[in-house]
Amino acid sequence: MHEIINQLLHEFDRPLKNPVLIFSLLLFIILIAPILFKRIRIPGIIGLILSGVIVGPNGMNLLAKTDAITLFSTIGLLYIMFIAGLELDLADFKRNKHKSIMFGFFTFIVPILIGFPICYNLLGYDFNASFLTASMFATHTLVAYPIVSRLGIAKNEAVAVAVGGTILTDTAVLLILAVIKGNAQPGGLNFDFWMRLGIGLTLFSIVMFVVVPRVTKWFFRKLESEKHSHYIFVLSIVFFSAFLAEIAGVEPIIGAFAAGLVLNPLIPHSSALMNRIEYVGNALFIPFFLINVGMLVDLSILFKGTDALKVAGFLTVGAIAGKWLAAWFTQLAFKYSALQRDIIVGLSSAHAAATIAIILIGFNMGILDEYILNGTIILILVTCLFASFVTEKTAKKMAMLTRNEESKSSAKQKVPEKILLPVANFFNFEKLLDFAILVKDPKAKSPITMLSVVSNDIDAEANIADARKKIDSVMLHASASETKVDFITTIDFNAGSGITRTSKEVMASLIIMGWPTKKGFIDKLMGEVLEQVLENTDKLIFITNSEKVSMSYKSIRLIVPSLSELEANFYGWLKKVNKLAMELSISVTVCCSEKTAEAIDMKAKKNNFQAKFIYNTMDTFESLETIAKECSAEDMIMLISARHGAVSDNKELGSLPQRMENMFDQNHRIIIIP
């Protein structure tokens, strides 16, 4: 017994050496630290870093710097930069690109102009250390963005400009890191360095922005059903991109960030794949990296003299001042209000992801010392708290000013969105559900209702039991994207009647149906099931050929008949088209009359739609042949139809679905019936 106790105590000798025990401790830290620090209003990212300080070599010495921890930390560093590129809203950037570029310039150059004199003249660091630290001032992480989203002001132009500026400033700072690294090496910034860097970045850009997107689209199409393979493929791209960046002469984090930008349009933000990427990164890899950063910190330096405190103070004040001045210049340039300026300050003041990456790399290269490293940790803590406070305070004021407008908007949507998804063939339910998730309002709390209608005959009970056996596979697929799904199995004499009755019972606002499979056009498009649903409901209906659903599209071709803007649910289906285009990061080419185009453009601008709408005006649908020639198999074809007797119903519309099916047989086709 004595030997067992001694052996057990020996396992806890500091630092820990048992890999299983080390891994267990790290997982406990990842689990508990964010919960504890959240209760005292400290961001989880700070909690993990401080936990690393406590258990690291300069704290309780429970963990030492081992190869395994270094490996996981490197993976986390690449992962955090990849997600930074993946989560940027490229559509917002394109929409406000000129203003985003201007803000990106201000928020890049102003902090550097402030930071360099502070480090070089006041703190006495050399050129490389001063310039690298000053470039860290220019980075920012959108830590406070969830606050803006929660309070419903994410569509404000100032928010879009702040988010768009992140792309420019982070990319520029990462390139500066490569230059500083070259300047710190023997030979400095000579002609050979610039030649190698230029050629390396050119080849890297060709591979990343030309080859990788095509390979990714091909892979996603060929292995559409292999969902787990998609995630492994994405990881392979990330780490291979990091390797290519290193070969090109820049830091691997540039490759990971570029991979995020390249894959951004190909991975919808509401998809199961995006959920897997964020889940694994936030649950495992990124926390490992943050704990490792904390293990490098020695807070005792702060108490050994005034030098460390002086460095931390200058860095923090300089970083906040630089971001405030950049926001002020942006306010003057675009005549923004004080609230818009403050919201830009709040969103751009937090330093976390890229800041940690740059300082850690500079420290490992010997360019930066312990004072800068520890001062940066203090800077991250203060700026994250400052950004959260300013953003929440300002966002609440902005939300109060727009309360009347929000009230009008909510009054129009008295009934919350509920989607009904009738499933006749369980072989294609995954793609049909994926499509429903893409068009679903992210604010809608109601789950998607999947419906299986069983014929009321002698085999009804057996068929119900068989349908319920398939619920597990449905729920498993839904859980991958964290989407709530209800499953209803009902008995009726025919499917149309069952769909109609259930849509009323659950108060559905949108019905998504698969493309009819009967032979013959009349039966196929306006068959008994669809005809009954149209006659007995007033719901918005989407009809889609689910076997063509993909995640890689070039554009949406939207065919809109004349007078569609006069229909009661004009805004309803237009909002769904915008949502779909935003999720897929593609533009919408609208084929319609000039008056309809004006109405769509006016509605899009009034509601601040973020997708790009391109108008191809035509008075009749004789131009479909021309459209078909211009389209590729990667274009999504959408037709706005109409119920019989509706304002926009006309003779041409009756034959249009058949023509669309014949001309676009290789495309994902959608018919929308208001």
**For residue range 378-409, what is the model confidence (pLDDT) as tens digits?**
887 788 778 877 887 888 788 777 654 544 44
DSSP H helical ranges for 155-270: 157-184, 191-206, 212-222, 227-248, 252-263
Least confident span in 326-330, 582-586, 654-658? 654-658
Residues forming a β-bridge with 490: 453
CA distance 96 to 607: 15
Residue 633: band (very low, low, confident or very high) from pLDDT cuts 50, 70, 90: confident
pLDDT of 325 over the 90 cut: yes
Residue 523 has a pLDDT of 46
CATH class of 550-674: alpha beta
Residue 240: band (very low, low, confident or very high) from pLDDT cuts 50, 70, 90: very high
Report pLDDT digits (tens) over 158-195: 887 887 777 678 778 877 777 777 766 666 667 777 88
pLDDT of 571 over the 60 cut: yes
Cβ distance 89 to 331 under 8 Å?
A: no
Residue 402 has a pLDDT of 63
Cβ distance 378 to 49 under 8 Å?
A: no
Fold held by 413-547: Rossmann fold (3.40.50)
pLDDT of 298 over the 80 cut: no
Residue 114 has a pLDDT of 92
Q: 57 or 459: which carries more pLDDT confidence? A: 57
Asked whether the CA dihedral 645, 647, 648, 650 is positive or negative, the reply is positive
Report pLDDT digits (tens) over 18-77: 888 888 888 999 888 888 877 776 767 678 878 888 888 888 888 887 778 878 888 887
pLDDT of 557 over the 70 cut: yes
Instruction: For the domain covering 67-403, report its CATH number.
Output: 1.20.1530.20
Q: Rounded mean pLDDT of 316-343?
A: 91
- Tell me the two tokens of residue 608: 């601040």
The pTM score is 0.63
pLDDT of 429 over the 70 cut: no
DSSP string, 195-217: HHHHHHHHHHHHIIIIIHHHHHH
Residue in this structure with the two tokens 């070969």, named with its chain if needed:
247
Residue 550 has a pLDDT of 60
CA distance 559 to 219: 30
Range among 5-9, 431-435, 461-465, 559-563 rated most confident? 559-563
Residue 415 has a pLDDT of 58
Residue in this structure with the two tokens 């860097």, named with its chain if needed:
197
Collapsing DSSP to helix, strand or coil, 592 comes out as: strand
- The burial class, CB within 10 Å (0-12 / 13-18 / 19+), for 561 is buried
Average pLDDT over all residues of the chain: 77
Asked whether the CA dihedral 578, 581, 585, 590 is positive or negative, the reply is negative
DSSP H helical ranges for 297-366: 306-334, 338-349, 353-364
- Tell me the two tokens of residue 670: 């959608």
Cβ distance 343 to 157 under 8 Å?
A: no
Q: Rounded mean pLDDT of 374-380?
A: 81
Least confident span in 396-410, 425-439, 575-589? 396-410
Residue 346 has a pLDDT of 87
pLDDT of 426 over the 90 cut: no
pLDDT of 225 over the 90 cut: no
Range among 301-305, 583-587, 618-622 rated most confident? 583-587
- Tell me the two tokens of residue 246: 């290193």
Establish whether domains 413-547 and 550-674 are of one fold: yes
Residue 173 has a pLDDT of 80
Residue 465 has a pLDDT of 64
Q: What percent of the chain has pLDDT over 70?
A: 78
- Tell me the two tokens of residue 18: 């048992």
Residue 238: band (very low, low, confident or very high) from pLDDT cuts 50, 70, 90: very high
Cβ distance 255 to 85 under 8 Å?
A: no
The domains of the chain are located at 67-403, 413-547, 550-674
- The burial class, CB within 10 Å (0-12 / 13-18 / 19+), for 506 is middle
Residue 226 has a pLDDT of 63
Distance set, CA 332 to CA 337, 406, 523 (Å): 9, 28, 62
